[in-house]
Each structure stands twice: as C-alpha cells, then as structure tokens.
Structure 1
Amino acid sequence: MTKIRSTTVCAVLHNGKIAIGADGQATMGNTVAKSNVKKIRKLQGGKVVIGFAGSTADAFSLMERFEEKLNAHGGNFKRAAIELAKDWRTDRFLRKLEAMMIAASQDEILVISGTGDVLEPDNQIAAIGSGSMYAQSAATALKKHAPHLTAEEMVRESLNIAADICIYTNHNLIIETLD
C-alpha cells in the first residue's frame, strides 16, 4: 500500500486574532493525488477552527469526535481537546488513526495528537505536517521581525515559504481567521 503524505498546517495568534491555514496538496507516493484538499474547518458556529494533517478519512473521524466533545462539554474548548486526546490514545479504533490536528478558539491554539498530547505551543504559533518546521520557522521570524503584519498575513507567508521548500506542500492555500 502506498503511504499517503501531505500537508502543512500553520496557526498564529497575533494581536488578538487567530489565523489558521493549510495547503491543498495530497500525495500518494511521489505523485500528487489531489491539489485542492480543504484541510481547514470551522466548528461550533465559527467559534472554533481546526486544521488537520495526515490521512483525510482519519482526520474527518477526529474532527467529528472533537465536535462531539465540544457539544458534550458545553463548548469548553480545552476540556473537549483533552477528552479527545484521551479517547484517541485509549480507544482501540481511534488509536490506529494517522492524523494530527491543530485546533484554535478565540484566544488559544492547541495541537492534539494520537499519543495523548494536547500542547499549547510556544509563541502562540503551531505547525503540523510535512512542511511544519519550515512554516513554524517562518512564522516565528515574521512574528518577531514583522509585528506589523496580521496573523493571516503571517500564516499566508509562512505556508508559501513551506510550499517553496517542501515537496508535499503546494500553494493552494485556505486560511480561516477568528477575532
């Protein structure tokens, strides 16, 4: 079976605004399978936005579970993330899912993984996926040296830099913002 690789997702909280974006590329082996996959979704009537990397089907399963957790916990963002991570780590079905997720609410960003991690990133910048280190490095530099940029501009430029370097990342970007 050909391993599916894809994506770079980046989120930045800057000047009270959150932007999260992802490229649109999905690859199978060394072939681009699709160039316009939507890896960013708004939940809870636009109060929460998530981005995912990894297997698309697995990511959709996790997104549905996260939304269920948000509903079960009255929209409590952090509690829902912790409960999802617990289930992801211990549930026999979920444990096999190959994806990661960045979730953002109005004032915080979390990285959620299948190892049970719920991480609040340093510098209010998070990145996951194959080009994550390029995007995170770029976002960190932009936040430090170009604070006049908006969170959305920082995410866009960071993803473009990642797309210039990472063969599994393209320039078809989708970016969502929260105020």
Structure 2
Amino acid sequence: MEKIRATTIVAVKKGNKVAIAGDGQVTFGDTVFKSKAKKIKKIKEYNVLTGFAGGAADAFALFEKFEDHLEAYKGNLKKAAVELAKEWRNDKALRVLDAMLIVANKENILVLSGNGDIIEPDEEVAAIGSGGSYAYAAAKALLTHTEMDVDKIAEEAMKIASSICIYTNSNISVEKI
C-alpha cells in the first residue's frame, strides 16, 4: 500500500514573537493528492502554535490529546508536552501513530515524536517533515542575517524549501503570536 506523505513545518522564534508555517501538499505515492491542506493550528486560549508532519488522522489525534494536556496544565507548554510524550510512548494504540509535532509559545519551541522525544532546539528554529532540513537551513540563515520579522522568515523559509523538496509546495499557511 502506498503511503500518504509529505509536509514541511518550520517554527521560528525571535524575542517574544514566534511563528509557525506549513505547506499544503499531501502526496500519495508519486501523486499530489491535495495541495491546500492546513497543517498548522493556533490554540488561542493559551497562545500556542502547533504543526504536524506525518499522517493527518494520527496528527489530529495527537493535537486533541495535546490540547487536553494543555488545558489540564493551564497552558504550561512544557508540562503538556511531557505528558503527551509519556502517554504517546506508553499507550499501545498511540505508540503506532505516524506523526511528529512542533509546539511553540513565546518562550519555547518543542519538537515531539512518537519515540518519546521532546526536543528543545538550541537555536530559535525547528523544522520537521520532508522538507524540514531545507526550511531549517533557510530559516536559520534568514534569522541570523536579516532583520525580517518571524512570520516573514517562516514564510520565506517555506518558499525556499518548496523550491527544493518535491514533497513541499508553495501553498503556505503562517500563524504568529
């Protein structure tokens, strides 16, 4: 069975601003299945941004669980991430989910995986997905060498990734807090 794949998500933090951007492409084998998917989300009550790479249904299940933990811990991003990672790693049904998440607020960017990883990058940039390494490199360069605002850096990084990665398109969504 062909695997539905593709996505690029990048998060950029600068001062007390953070932005997350994602492309809209979903491929099935060598066919573009959808070009305008929305893979990022703003959780307004807690000023948190999220994005996913991997299986959409899996990611939505994880989003829901993350939001539950965020509510239980009154918006504490790190605590909610730790609790989601523990649940994701220990629950037999969740353990097989094929997705990664980036969650961010004005203080932190975290990458979460089904292996129990919670990675807080050293830099103010994180990226996941098929074109993640391209978006990461572009965002890091733009953050270091320009005065652009975070939302523009995230968007430009995605444009660069989409020009290189065949699984990333230029239908870009951006959220900022």
TM-score, scaled relative to structure 1:
0.96
Cross-structure match for 1:161:
160
Cross-structure match for 1:176:
175
Cross-structure match for 1:57:
57
Contact 2:12 2:153 in 1 (8 A): yes
- Secondary structure in 2 aligned to 1:18? strand
Cross-structure match for 2:81:
81
Contact 1:95 1:114 in 2 (8 A): yes
Q: How does 1:1-179 map to 2 (within 5 A)?
A: 1-45=1-45, 47-146=47-146, 148-178=147-177
Which region of structure 1 is more displaced relative to structure 2, 95-104 or 137-146?
A: 137-146
Corresponding letter in the other structure for 1:63: F
Contact 1:44 1:75 in 2 (8 A): no
Provide Cα deviations, 1:123-174, integer angstroms capped at 9, x if missing partner: 110000000000000111111111x111111101100000000000000000
Which region of structure 1 is more displaced relative to structure 2, 96-105 or 71-80?
A: 71-80
In the aligned structure 2, how far is the partner of 1:108 from the partner of 1:11?
10
Which region of structure 1 is more displaced relative to structure 2, 59-68 or 41-50?
A: 41-50
RMSD: 0.9
TM-score, scaled relative to structure 2:
0.97
- Secondary structure in 2 aligned to 1:167? coil
Q: How many residues align?
A: 177
Contact 2:7 2:167 in 1 (8 A): yes
In structure 1, the gaps of 5 or more residues are none
Provide Cα deviations, 1:47-98, integer angstroms capped at 9, x if missing partner: 1110000000000000000001111112211000000001111100000000
Q: CA deviation at 1:106?
A: 2.0
Contact 1:44 1:67 in 2 (8 A): no
In structure 2, the gaps of 5 or more residues are none
Contact 2:4 2:55 in 1 (8 A): yes
Q: CA deviation at 1:4?
A: 1.1
In the aligned structure 1, how far is the partner of 2:21 from the partner of 2:101?
12
In the aligned structure 1, how far is the partner of 2:44 from the partner of 2:90?
25
- Secondary structure in 2 aligned to 1:10? strand
In the aligned structure 1, how far is the partner of 2:116 from the partner of 2:46?
25
